[in-house]
Chain A
C-alpha cells in the first residue's frame, strides 16, 4: 500500500530543473483542469472520500470540481454547518447512527430513491429506522464495518480475544489500546455484559462504567484513529479495543500479523451514510454524486480508499474488488458478521450527555 522512497539520490542542477519543470507542469495541469470544470460541488465528508482515486473519475465524467472538507465527529460537522450560509454545502457524509438527529434538524433533503440502488444494499444496511421519516428517505448507507478487537496474532492467543471480557481482563495488562470514541466502546462493553446496544438506558450505565474503569486500568493508551493504528502497527500494544477491518485491512500486506475478530458475544457495527443538503442549490448534481458513490465502481473505490478500508454497503461492489481486497475485507464472512453484530448505541440527547460524562471521567481516570 505505502510507497517506499529511496534516499541518498544525488541532486544535480539538471535534476532540479527537471523537477521544477515537472512541478510547474503538474501545477499548470491541475489549474487548467480546475479552470475547465464548469461547476463545483461542496461536500462535507469523512476522510475516505478525499482519496483522488475515488473523486477524480466523477470530476472527469461530469466536468465538475468537488471541494471536500473532511471532519471527525458529528459535533464538529454540526458546528461547521451552523457557521455556514445556506447553500454552502451540497453533500453530507455522516455517521449512520446520527442520521435521525440530522434529519430532525432539517439538514437533509429527501432523496429520489428510484434513482438509487437501494435494492442492492446488504439488507442490514438499509436501516430504514435511521434513514427514513414520514415515508421519505433522507440518507443511504454507503460503507460499514465493525468496532471490535484488532490484535497481533503472534503475541495474542486467538482464543482469548473470542471472549469480549478480555478487554477488561488483566491478562494483557499494558498491552491494550482503546479507540477514543465512547459510543462503540460503550457498545462493546454492553455486549460483553450481555446487553443489547439499542436497548441501553441510564440504569445500565453504572455496570458499564465499572467495566470501562477496569478497562482503563489494564490499558496502555486511549487514542484517536492515527495513534491507535500507530500503536498496534509499531508493537506498542498487542490489542486494539474498537479496532476492526478499518485498522488492519489496509495494512495486510505490510503487517500480516495483524488480525481482527468478532468475539462470541458479537461485535459493534458502524456505518456511514450519505445524503444531500436541504439547502443545496445543486441538488441534481449532488444526487448524481450520491449515485456515483453508491455505484458498484464507486463503492469498490470507497471501500479501498487510502484513508481507511471498510466494507461497501452495495453488495454488487464485490465484482469490482480483487480477491486479495475481498479477503482483507472478509467479504465472505459478512453474512455471519452482520448477523452477529449490532449497531452501536444511538442514545437520546440526555443519555448521550451522561455517556459522554462517563467517557470523560474514564479518560481522566
Chain B
C-alpha cells in the first residue's frame, strides 16, 4: 500500500536492503563488542574475579600511575615520528613511480615497492632485529669499512621500533599517494608551466595541495595502525620503554584484568577517533 502511495518508497526499501548487511555487520562486530568493552571498563578485577560494580577507577588509575600515562606519551611520540617519516619517504617514491617510471613498468615497480607486504609481519620484525643487531649486517658493514670499531647499539631501542614501523608504513602510504597522483590530470602541470611556474613552484602550489587527500588518508591509516600496534615495539623495542598497547597486554597476560585493559583500550580508541575527526575536518576545510 505504502509503495503504491509513494513511488520513492520502493527505492528506499531497495536502498535499505543494500545497506542492511553492512549495518548488521557493523552492529554485530563493532557496536555490540564496543558497548560490552565500554561497560567492562567500568567494572573491577578483584583477585581472580571480575566484579560488576560500576566505577571510573580504571580511568583514574591511568592518570594516577605515571608509568601508564608515560605509555600514552611514548605511543604518541613514536606514532607521530613514524607517520612523518613515512610520508617523507613514501611521497617521493610514489611520485617517481607515478611520474617518472614508464607506464608499462609502473605496475611492476609498484609490486616491487610493496613486496615486503608479502612476508609475515612478525617475521619481518624479527628479521629487522637480526639486521640491526650487534652482529647484524649494518654493524658488520660499518666495522668492515673501518667506520666504527665497536658495534652500534641499534637493536632494542626506540630507533629500531621506528625503523621497523617506517619500513612497513612507507609501503602503505606509497599506495594511497600513488593512487592520488594517478588521478591528477597532467593538464594541471601543463597549465602551471604555461603560466610561467617553475617545476618546483608547480609541485608546491599545484601538485602537493591536490594530493593532500591521499597523504591524509595514508597518514591517518598509518597513525591508527601504528598507535595500536603491539608486536613491533615488543620485538624491536626490547621492552626498554612501553607503549600503550603493551601496557594493555600486561593487564591481560597475568591477572586477566580485562576491565583495566578495556579502559586503556577505550582511551586509545578515543585518541584515534579524535585524530580522525581532526583529519576529516581539515580535509573538509581544504575542500571548502
Contact = CB atoms under 8 A, between A and B. Distances in A.
A364 B256 contact: no
Contacts of B226: none
A78 interface: yes
B47 A349 contact: yes
A356 B255 contact: yes
Contacts of A105: 48-49
A221 B156 contact: yes
A356 B254 contact: yes
Interface residues of B, number: 37
B253 A222 contact: no
By secondary structure, the A interface counts as: helix
Contact of B253 (A76, A221, A223, A235): A76
Interface in B229-288: 234-235, 238-242, 246-247, 250, 252-258
Contacts of A360: 65, 67-68, 242, 247, 250
A322 interface: no
Interface of B: 46-50, 65-68, 70-71, 126, 129-130, 133-135, 153, 155-156, 234-235, 238-242, 246-247, 250, 252-258
A320 interface: no
A267 to B, nearest CB: 22
A361 B133 CA distance: 26
A282 to B, nearest CB: 25
A254 interface: no
A8 to B, nearest CB: 20
A224 B246 CA distance: 12
A357 interface: yes
A78 B48 contact: yes
B239 A75 contact: no
A349 B48 contact: yes
B124 to A, nearest CB: 15
Contacts of A235: 133-135
A47 B236 CA distance: 23
Contacts of B252: 73, 75-76, 79
A120 interface: no
A48 interface: no
Given A224-B234, A356-B250, A364-B70, A236 B65 contact: no
**Which range contains the number of A residues in contact with the other chain?**
35 or more
Contact of A74 (B47, B129, B242, B254): B254
Contact of B258 (A79, A180, A234, A357): A79
A136 interface: no
20 contacts: A73-B254, A74-B254, A78-B48, A79-B256, A104-B48, A105-B48, A105-B49, A174-B153, A180-B239, A221-B238, A221-B240, A227-B129, A231-B156, A234-B133, A236-B134, A349-B47, A352-B254, A353-B255, A363-B67, A363-B240
Given A74-B254, A349-B46, A353-B255, A230 B153 contact: no
A223 B258 contact: no
A78 B254 CA distance: 9
A336 interface: no
A75 B256 CA distance: 4
A227 B235 contact: yes
A220 B250 contact: no
Contacts of A75: 252-257
Nearest to A362: B67
Nearest to A95: B254
A50 B258 CA distance: 27
A333 interface: no
A223 to B, nearest CB: 6
Nearest to A74: B254
Contacts of A222: 238-240
Contacts of A356: 250, 254-255
Contacts of B235: 227
Interface string A297-321: 0000000000000000000000000
Given A75-B252, A236-B155, A223 B133 contact: no
B143 to A, nearest CB: 14
Nearest to B71: A364
Nearest to B125: A227
A220 B254 contact: no
A222 B70 CA distance: 18
Contacts of B241: 363-364
Contacts of B47: 101, 349
A359 B251 CA distance: 12
